[in-house]
A and B are shown apart, each in its own frame.
Chain A
Amino acid sequence: MEPKTKIHAEDGKQELFIRREFDLPVDLLFKAYEDAEIVEQWMGTKVIKLESKKHGSYQFETSDPKGNKHLFNGVIHEFVSNKKITRTFEMENTPFPVQIEYLEFEKLTAGTSKLTMQIVYKSVADRDRMLQLPFAQGINMAHNRIQEILKR
């Protein structure tokens, strides 16, 4: 089966695209981004602040398995219901520069919709580091698990 979520990252470019089609009407898809309580449920983060409007800002918090807290924040530049959100994204206390995210919501049929996320990074190297992050984190997690087992 073809995966539903597609990543397009062209070599040597400082941007990437994430595309996904949903079995949801576009207004419900958009609502999942607009409503703080719903964002908490699917992102798995605590929403400290989410001002879903032009010139609004947001701050999310996640906890890793060790209980360390990580903060993310950004500013919303464009907010057009059921159409688009343009925002910055920044991981606090990390060397990663701010990135800009263009989210486009499209109606396909009455019950289906499509999301296109274009993320633009400060440099090609920054994009590549960001892509590598979940890969490296997966390894660290596997490592920690092995260490825990060995400690017994």
Chain B
Amino acid sequence: MNLRRDVFQAIADPSRRAILLLVASQAMTAGAIASNFDTARPTVSKHLQILTECELLKQEQNGREIYYHINAKKMKEVAEFLEPFRSMWEDRFSKLESIMKKHKK
């Protein structure tokens, strides 16, 4: 099986992307993740299973609860993960350029 292709298939699904975005801000339990969606709990579990299998999410036992974390190492392979960081700089630099072009005159 081609693992790399699996990663991209995993993030091609909008629900799975939404889960990744959610977990990026903080580690969460499956229940907490599911409470953010209207979809049935087993559907969310299936998405979590796929994301864990392709290593985009990591599980961590904390007492009786299992928390899902973003696997930053794997996420870096996905351009979308870097995109907000890049576009933050793109915005600043574009502003710099337009301000200095006017400055010239």
Q: Which chain A residues have a beta carbon within 8 Å of chain B's beta carbons?
A: 3-7, 9, 11, 18, 20, 22-24, 28-29, 31-32, 38, 41-44, 115, 128-129, 131-140, 142-143
Contacts and interface: CB of A to CB of B under 8 A. Distances in A.
Contact of B100 (A7, A38, A136, A138): A38
Interface string B82-103: 1111111110111111011101
7 contacts: A6-B86, A7-B82, A131-B85, A132-B75, A135-B81, A137-B84, A140-B25
Given A42-B96, A139-B25, A131 B76 contact: yes
Contact of A132 (B70, B90, B96, B100): B70
Contacts, number: 92
A24 B89 CA distance: 17
B72 interface: yes
Contacts of A115: 93
Contacts of A138: 21, 84
B32 interface: no
B89 A5 contact: yes
